[in-house]
Structure 1
């Protein structure tokens, strides 16, 4: 088992505002993905494609744990390429109206046979861009 990817950034916003950006599909589309079938409920499956209209990678996730304003945990998979799944955990820690966002992506080795686009380095770079730029800029504007 390989080490998980851990990406964390502080965001100058209260946890409830960060939580809303993470869990409200009308806000997600501005910084993350446009996820039309997202419902914040354990057991719910949601699907999306990368932005840009290519629809190259079908992402499918299932929510496995919710602790409001603190934790969202879901699977992450590519059903067109593999039956294997990984696990993504978003954790929020509030301190003086500044929120630490910590994302942990586990079991990336499940995608090792899918090619370079699914490498640890590629996921790490993607999560850093999504959280450190897109989410941070969206919430701190």
Structure 2
């Protein structure tokens, strides 16, 4: 038996349910940049969940900064609960976006996470605001 098939593939119905659920939790940089460039921003807000110094350094244009460590019922009372909050951080090795999305969800907000964070965004050549010097780091 091959290593690839050492564990059988799930039935199509189970696979469809799994991958639909995965897409309910994440958006990729390409989909997000296409929406932003087309001006399709109704229904969601892009959120940098790292510290303010990371936000000042490099951010997705139009993003807001909501450091995950500061998320409370009081600090989020001004946020629109009808929107989806697309959280991002440094990369796949930083979990500030996951922590921010978790806190927001626990506070009753709809959330998604941006796959790959700002590092994947920059690697794809998409625009950033900020100083971009020195190099990107976790900073959460």
Q: Same fold (TM over 0.5)?
A: no
The structure number with the bigger radius of gyration is 2
Using the size of structure 2 for normalisation, the TM-score is: 0.30
| Larger fraction in strand | 1
TM normalised by structure 1 equals 0.30
